[in-house]
């Protein structure tokens, strides 16, 4: 039991969410905007030091039918780097449709597309973490 950090990996932005396993509830935290991998991992390192998570969760994007694509491979590589760098267990959660769901949730709060954009990746990370809380032992199929 403890804190979990979740990531919605993207090549330009990484959404981050946090939650507690005891409560099983996820909350958007921040969006990392960094050009280089070193800068991205430095920002993640600060979050890991601050939140001291017991586990990290990475959203694993796939096609609608669950088959992997290039972003699936990149997200998995990101998860492997997290595990090596921070020596924490990394789980993956199916992230199909999380961005669309995040957009819909932000619209419900009265935000338009422009005002929602800065929050979108963090809310997507929240949905990824909530998916993992609801099914922690279900891992999406890894790309071949």
Say which CATH number the domain at 75 has.
3.30.420.140
* The pLDDT value given to residue 35: 86
H helix intervals, the chain: 37-51, 70-86, 98-108, 113-134
Report yes or no on 114 lying in a domain.
Answer: yes
Report yes or no on 144 lying in a domain.
Answer: no
Report yes or no on 107 lying in a domain.
Answer: yes
* The pLDDT value given to residue 16: 97
Mark 121-130 as b/e (b = at least 16 C-beta within 10 Å).
bbbbbbbbbb
* The pLDDT value given to residue 1: 72
Over its length of 144 residues, how does the chain's per-residue pLDDT go in tens digits? 799 999 999 988 999 999 999 999 999 999 999 889 999 999 999 999 999 999 999 999 888 787 888 889 999 999 999 999 999 999 999 887 665 565 666 566 665 655 556 677 888 899 999 989 988 775 655 444
* The pLDDT value given to residue 140: 54
> 44 Cβ partners below 8 Å, 6+ apart?
7, 14, 16, 32, 82, 86
Report yes or no on 70 lying in a domain.
Answer: yes
* The pLDDT value given to residue 142: 47
* The pLDDT value given to residue 114: 58
CA Rg value for the chain? 14
Report yes or no on 10 lying in a domain.
Answer: yes
β-strands 3-8, 90-94 pairing: unpaired
Report yes or no on 36 lying in a domain.
Answer: yes
* The pLDDT value given to residue 56: 97
What is d(CA 19, CA 90) in angstroms, rounded to the nearest whole number?
15
Range of the domain at 109: 3-134
* The pLDDT value given to residue 92: 94
- Percentage helix, strand, coil, to 5, in the chain? 45, 25, 30
Report yes or no on 143 lying in a domain.
Answer: no
pTM of the model: 0.84
Is the torsion defined by CA of 82, 87, 92, 97 positive or negative?
A: negative
Report yes or no on 25 lying in a domain.
Answer: yes
| Residue 132, token pair as written in the block | 């993992």
How many independent structural domains does the chain possess? 1
């Amino acid at each position: 039991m403890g804190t979990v950090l979740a990531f919605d990996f993207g090549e330009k932005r990484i959404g981050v969410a946090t939650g507690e396993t005891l409560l099983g509830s996820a909350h958007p935290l921040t969006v990392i905007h960094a050009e280089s991998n070193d800068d991205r991992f430095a920002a993640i390192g600060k979050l890991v030091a601050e939140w001291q998570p017991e586990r990290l969760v990475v959203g694993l994007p796939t096609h609608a039918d669950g088959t992997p694509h290039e972003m699936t491979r990149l997200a998995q590589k990101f998860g492997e780097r997290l595990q090596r760098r921070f020596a924490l267990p990394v789980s993956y959660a199916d992230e199909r449709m999380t961005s669309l769901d995040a957009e819909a949730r932000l619209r419900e709060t009265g935000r338009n597309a422009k005002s929602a954009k800065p929050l979108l990746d963090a809310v997507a990370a929240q949905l990824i973490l909530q998916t993992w809380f609801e099914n922690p032992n279900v891992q999406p199929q890894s790309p071949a």
